[in-house]
Amino acid sequence: MNPGWYRENGRSFNQLIYAILRKLDYSRLRLSSIEPCDVDEELAELSLHPRFCNYFHVPLQSGSREILRLMRRTYSAESYRKRLETVRRVNPAVFLGTDVIAGFPGESEAHFQETLDLLRDLDIVQVHGFPYSPREGTDALELPNPVDRGVAKERVRRLQEYSNGQWKKLVFGLEGQTRFAVIEKCDEEQSLGSALSDDYIRIEFGLASRFDPANIQGRLGRFNLGQAASDRSVKGDLIELLPLSF
């Protein structure tokens, strides 16, 4: 399903998103995944709304123009780059994620390197890498130059290595920043809580006496971020709970 194809009574997908955001008093809106052709400046501007989770997951599949053509994708590496550069220009702090298929028939090392280069150029953090899997009845099954399964798995490993490095760079650069995050867990015995920000930063914080642990789980809080706790989480201080209507 591609949510960007939504059209009803003359209303576009972006207009639907705007209408939803106007109605949200406390909850936030997160887009799960959206195709490159539906990412434009208007959607990028909507991502600046305080109730829009500061995150886009835009599948790439390959950074090679030639491989995308073999995949019969509706976009090129160049158009993908332009659209995400537009998002970065409008919202420099946006968190970007993507999907990549490694080892598609005909993919050379040079093609794969094009993918890594594009990921780096766009500063994409979260990469879901998958090895190409042959499927009966698909045109791809008839393509020449299949990629060895071991080579495909190694490329997936390299994609994960890249993503891990991006996560580490992100998390270790957050000290002193502020995030709004949903409080997901409270361990009263350990006096520790865990929250998740709109850009998927895990925040570990101490349960301060002024907040009742029984009443803060599921609430949205404002946190000051401290040092990295792991490659994907940081220590933080809960500064305030947001009112249920703001």
Q: Of 71, 48, 51, which is closest to residue 60 (Cα–Cα)?
A: 71
Residue at 1: amino acid letter:
M
Residues in the chain: 246
Return per-residue pLDDT of the chain as tens, 246 residues: 666 666 677 789 999 999 999 999 888 999 989 999 999 999 999 999 999 999 999 999 999 999 999 999 999 999 999 999 999 999 999 999 999 999 999 999 999 999 999 999 999 999 999 999 999 888 999 999 999 999 999 999 999 999 999 999 999 999 999 999 999 999 988 999 999 999 999 999 999 878 888 889 999 999 999 999 999 999 999 999 988 764
Question: In the numeric block, which tokens belong to residue 44?
Answer: 């990028």
What is the rounded CA–CA span in Å between residue 76 and residue 47?
Answer: 24
Beta bridge partners of 192: 187, 206
